[in-house]
Chain A
Amino acid sequence: MADMMKGNVAIAEAAIRAGARLYAGYPITPSTEIMEYMSWRMAEVDGVFVQAESEIAGINMIIGGAACGVRAITASSGPGISLKQEGMTTLSDEELPAVVVNMVRYGNGIGTLYSAQCDYHRETRGGGNGDYRCIVLCPSSIQEATELMVLAFDLAEKYRMVSVFMSEGALGQMMEPCELPPMRDLPRYPWGFDGKYTNKKIGIFDRNSRDEAVLLNEKYNRVKENEQRWEANSIEDADYVLVAYGLPGRASIGAAKELRAEGYKVGVIRVITAWPFPEKAFEEVNPNVKGFITIEANATGQLIDDVALTALRTIENKVQCYCRPHVYGIPSVKAIKQDFIDVINGNMKEVY
């Protein structure tokens, strides 16, 4: 039977069950409950919990744990994740797997406490220096969050890269019925530090950066080919397709369903992997589609860039791409329906 659980608690417990045995971080609203839960839960599974002195120290502890082959996770929100970028590019450089949770809150600088999607560009492009990618997973329900947490660890391990678990503040704070994944008892990654220098790869200095970069890019291409995930509804015959992720994605599914019932040929693509972006979903869209409409909880419109680029690549005709940035919060079904009406009435100008 599914129990009612708070999002952040379910996310933390799912991480434990997925095999996380190191948590290090610094509290920040709206992710703090994840850390609070880990502070006592980690000890119960013989894991390591460290209340770090800073976000930067937290992510560097994740590096230390991951280097020992331990499944490691940290959680934060917007400004905290900004501080973690140094560690995330280092993890990517060392090809160490880890899971970084961003329970996004709105705003620049220290930001606000509103639930939002303003960090899309940063998470999908990589906010640290260099030339790396992170897998970015975006749940739209607490149930899906627990499932994606397991996937986040598995993909991080499989490709030896960072999985960013990008959700909105609201998902962490709300409660829903949720069935937790089974507890896994996994050994450490086989290549971690053992003090005997068994594995020669980690930390070697005489590196060939050009060859490494080419190999890294090949790996990223494999991820793009194999790990795109999305949920699509009624896109094969759609005149218009709503594109969104997270809680706005969930509301967009509801809006598309109601618009269909009202006679509009509207489909929806809910993005689950913001990176790799689900290009394959667009290949299934009606080739004569008239427009894509992104529904976003930010001010500038960020997802729209990926949608427009993907439409260019996958659909022969030029398709208009619209964006309705709701700034923060979760747009209601009613608001999203109005966004669509604005598009067909010519009250919203296309972005691309």
Chain B
Amino acid sequence: MSKAKKVPYLVDRPMSFCPGCGHGIVIRLVAECLEELEQSDNIVFPIGVGCSSLLGGGVEADRLHCSHGRAGAVATAIKRCNPNNVVISYQGDGDAYSIGIGETTSAAYRNEKFTTIIINNTNYGMTGGQMSNTTLPNQKTNTSVYGRDCSVTGNPLRFPELAADQFNVGYAARGSVHDVANIRKTKSYIKKALEMQLSGAGYSVVEVLSPCPTNWKMEPLEAMKHISEHVTTYFPLGEFVEKEEK
């Protein structure tokens, strides 16, 4: 007994991510969830700047390439103007947590009824691997060449926990794509987030730990192992809040 599995039409075309990058996996999971929820033709993607913007070249759907960090604000207006559309802001950790932290937290704070998917690869990928707000302590990047010194840079930010603890959001979780089991679990988080949006009960966010083999200077398999052994120790996986659906 085997089940047929085909990349959903929404994203069934080549995308220009680096070999072993996790973006492609997450994008497919999002598309699968939309298909299963019968929302593939009811979707608008405000897309962030950075590697996440490469989604724009691969998805056949309404989408807007937002200014850097502003997807939370753009998504707010799209969802409020088109409440019956599913709205997913697709962003990276640099876009959502650094330059766009104001827009991201404010959308969560207002409990806007859209979903944010944030790819956390602990660095700025598109610009070549600089330190981000999620770079691990002591992690070497192009702007923390001796390793991140948290005494001068602050500590890595845990946004889903912040949203869950401080704001009245509907759903907040962190998944990972470092192996098949976690990919499946991450898909269940994304699906719950979208169900939360469909119920109208509140803001939903899923952060996904994702490899950046190019800038981590690792082989793809090594990068997956790095997530499981190191990244998950600072960024715990799981669901942090799940409000009753409306």
Contact flag (A, B; Cβ within 8 A): yes
* CB-based nearest A residue for B62: A193
Closest chain-A Cβ to B39's Cβ sits at a distance in Å of: 8
- Contact size range, B: 35 or more
Provide the residues of chain B in CB contact with A67, threshold 8 Å: 64, 74, 78
Contact check: which of A70, A86, A197 meets B62 at CB < 8 Å?
A197
Given contacts A48-B80, A193-B78, contact A203 B70 (CB under 8 A): no
Instruction: List A contacts of B65 (CB < 8 A).
Output: 203, 205
Q: Does B63 belong to the interface (CB within 8 Å)?
A: yes
In the complex, which residues of chain B have a beta carbon less than 8 angstroms from the beta carbon of A197?
A: 41, 60-62
CB of A210 closer than 8 Å to a CB of B? no
Q: How far is the CA of A68 from the CA of B43 in the complex (A)?
A: 12
A-B contact count (CB 8 A): 119
In the complex the two chains form, is A70's CB within 8 Å of B67's CB?
no
Residue pair A60, B70 in contact (C-beta under 8 Å): yes
A51-59, A149-157, A160-168, A217-225: which lies at the interface = A51-59
Query: Is A61 in contact with chain B by the CB < 8 A criterion?
Result: yes
Among the listed A60, A65, A205, which residue makes an inter-chain contact with B56, where contact means beta carbons less than 8 Å apart? A205
What 1/0 mask marks residues of chain B from 78 to 90 whose CB sits below 8 Å from any chain A CB?
1011101110000
Q: How far is the CA of A61 from the CA of B64 in the complex (A)?
A: 12
Closest CB-CB distance, A225 to chain B, in whole Å? 31
Chain B residues with CB under 8 Å of A87's CB are: 67, 70
Q: Is the CB of A311 closer than 8 A to any CB of chain B?
A: no
Selected from A57, A65, A86, A206, the residue in CB contact (under 8 A) with B106 is: A57
Chain A residue nearest to B78 in the complex (CB): A64
Question: Given the interface contacts A53-B102, A60-B103, A197-B62, does A68 sit within 8 Å of B77 by beta carbon?
Answer: yes
- B44 CB–A CB distance under 8 Å: yes
Q: Are A64 and B77 neighbours in the complex by a CB distance under 8 Å?
A: yes
Residue A283 is within 8 A (CB to CB) of chain B in the complex: no
Report the bound CA distance from A65 to B46 in whole Å: 12
Is chain A's interface secondary structure helix, strand, loop, or mixed overall?
Answer: mixed
CB distance from A69 to the nearest CB of B (A): 8
CB–CB A195/B85 < 8 A = yes
Cβ contact within 8 Å between A24 and B77: yes
- What residues of B have a CB within 8 angstroms of the CB of A206 in the complex? 57
Do A90 and B67 touch (CB < 8 A)? yes
CB distance from A239 to the nearest CB of B (A): 50
> A195 contacts B103, CB within 8 Å?
no
Size of chain A's interface in residues, with CB distance under 8 A?
Answer: 35
B62–A203 CB distance below 8 A: yes
Contacts A90-B67, A94-B64, A205-B65 given; does A50 touch B77 at CB 8 Å = yes
Determine whether B66 belongs to the interface, using a CB cutoff of 8 Å to chain A. yes
> Measured between alpha carbons, how far is A48 from B102 in the docked complex, in Å?
21
Whether A193 lies near B73 (C-beta < 8 A) is no
What 0/1 readout, one digit per residue, does chain B (45-66) give for beta carbons within 8 Å of chain A? 0110000010011001111111
Is B73's CB under 8 angstroms from A68's CB?
no
Which one of A58, A197, A202 has the highest number of Cβ atoms from chain B below 10 Å of its Cβ?
A: A197
Q: Does B42 contact A (CB under 8 A)?
A: yes
**A183-223 contacts to B (CB < 8 Å):** 193-197, 199, 202-203, 205-206
Does B190 belong to the interface (CB within 8 Å)? no
Min CB gap A39→B, angstroms: 14
Say which residue of A24, A65, A195 sits within 8 Å of B41 (CB atoms). Answer: A195
Query: Which residues on the A side are within 8 Å of B53 (C-beta)?
Result: 205
By beta carbon, the residue of chain A nearest B71 is: A60
Q: Does A243 count as interface, using CB distance less than 8 angstroms?
A: no
A170 partner residues in chain B, CB cutoff 8 A: none
Q: List 27 A-B contacts (CB under 8 A).
A: A24-B73, A48-B81, A50-B77, A52-B73, A56-B70, A56-B73, A57-B72, A57-B73, A57-B102, A60-B70, A60-B74, A63-B66, A63-B74, A64-B75, A65-B78, A68-B77, A68-B78, A86-B70, A90-B66, A90-B67, A193-B64, A195-B41, A196-B62, A197-B61, A203-B63, A205-B56, A205-B57
Report, nearest first, the 10 A-B pairs whose CB atoms are least far apart. A64-B77, A60-B73, A195-B85, A61-B77, A53-B106, A57-B73, A64-B74, A60-B70, A195-B42, A68-B81
Known contacts A52-B73, A60-B74; can you find 10 more A-B pairs with CB under 8 A? Answer: A53-B73, A57-B72, A64-B46, A65-B77, A70-B81, A94-B64, A193-B62, A195-B42, A196-B42, A202-B64
A-binding residues in B (CB < 8 A): 41-44, 46-47, 53, 56-57, 60-67, 70, 72-78, 80-82, 84-86, 102-103, 106, 109
